[in-house]
Amino acid sequence: MRSVVNFQVIGFVIMVVSTATIGCDGCKKRDVGTGGAVPTEEPSEPVEPLPELSELDLDMRKVVLGRRLYHDARLSGDGTVSCATCHSLDHGGAEPRAVSVGIGGQLGPINSPTVLNSRYNFRQFWDGRAADLREQAAGPIENPAEMGHSFVELIPQLKENSTYTTAFQEAYGSEITKELVLDAIATYEESLLTPSPFDAYLRGDKDAISAEAKAGYATFKEVGCTACHSGMLLGGQMFQRLGVIKDYFKERGTEITPADLGRYNVTQEDDDRHLFKVPTLRNVALTSPYLHDGSVETLEEAIRIMGTYQLGKDLDASQVAHIKAFLESLTGELPPHAREPEAAAAAAHPREMRARPAGREQNSRPTKG
- CATH code, 128: 1.10.760.10
Is residue 316 packed enough to be buried (19+ CB in 10 Å), middle (13-18) or exposed (0-12)?
exposed
Does 333 map to a domain? no
Does 48 map to a domain? yes
Q: What is the pLDDT of residue 47?
A: 96
Q: Domain check: are 31 and 111 in the same one?
A: no
User: How many structural domains does the chain have?
Assistant: 2
- How far separated are the first and last CA of the chain, in Å rounded? 49
Residues 322-335: what's their mean pLDDT? 98
Q: What is the pLDDT of residue 342?
A: 75
In the predicted structure, residue 209 carries a pLDDT above the cut 70 = yes
Query: E strands within the chain?
Result: 28-29, 238-241, 275-277
Query: At CA 33, angle to CA 28 and CA 34, rounded to 5?
Result: 65
Does 318 map to a domain? yes
Residues 101-120: what's their mean pLDDT? 96
In the predicted structure, residue 174 carries a pLDDT above the cut 50 = yes
* Catalytic machinery residues: 146
Does 369 map to a domain? no
Q: What is the pLDDT of residue 341?
A: 84
Residues 21-49: what's their mean pLDDT? 53
Q: Domain check: are 275 and 173 in the same one?
A: no
Q: What is the pLDDT of residue 185?
A: 98
Assess contact for 299 and 8: CB atoms under 8 A.
Answer: no
Kindly report, residue by residue over 66-90, the tens digit of the pLDDT: 999 999 999 999 999 999 999 999 9
Q: What is the pLDDT of residue 276?
A: 98
Q: Domain check: are 217 and 112 in the same one?
A: no
User: Confidence class of residue 345 from pLDDT cuts 50, 70 and 90?
Assistant: low
Q: Domain check: are 232 and 138 in the same one?
A: no
User: Confidence class of residue 360 from pLDDT cuts 50, 70 and 90?
Assistant: very low
Residues 20-47: what's their mean pLDDT? 49
Q: What is the dihedral of CA 16, 242, 186, 154, to 10 degrees?
A: 170
Q: What is the pLDDT of residue 217?
A: 98
Q: Domain check: are 165 and 206 in the same one?
A: no
Q: Domain check: are 70 and 152 in the same one?
A: yes
User: Confidence class of residue 44 from pLDDT cuts 50, 70 and 90?
Assistant: confident
Q: Domain check: are 182 and 232 in the same one?
A: no
Q: Percent of the chain beyond pLDDT 90?
A: 79
User: Confidence class of residue 28 from pLDDT cuts 50, 70 and 90?
Assistant: low
State how far Cα 23 lies from the chain centre. 25
Compute the half-sphere exposure of residue 245: CA atoms within 13 Å on the CB side of its CA: 14
d(CA 227, CA 245) in angstroms, rounded, equals 14
In the predicted structure, residue 112 carries a pLDDT above the cut 80 = yes
Closest CA to 67 of 158, 187, 153: 187
Q: Domain check: are 72 and 156 in the same one?
A: yes
Does 1 map to a domain? no
Q: Domain check: are 212 and 317 in the same one?
A: yes
Range of the domain at 94: 59-190+342-363
Q: Domain check: are 297 and 210 in the same one?
A: yes
In the predicted structure, residue 40 carries a pLDDT above the cut 50 = no
Q: Domain check: are 272 and 162 in the same one?
A: no
Q: Which sign, positive or negative, has the C-alpha torsion 256, 258, 260, 265?
A: positive
Does 84 map to a domain? yes
DSSP 74: G
Q: Percent of the chain beyond pLDDT 70?
A: 81
Does 336 map to a domain? no
Q: Which residues have CB under 8 Å from 32's CB, separation 6+?
A: 1, 3
In the predicted structure, residue 36 carries a pLDDT above the cut 90 = no
Does 337 map to a domain? no
Q: What is the pLDDT of residue 115?
A: 98
d(CA 202, CA 44) in angstroms, rounded, equals 11
Q: Domain check: are 212 and 127 in the same one?
A: no
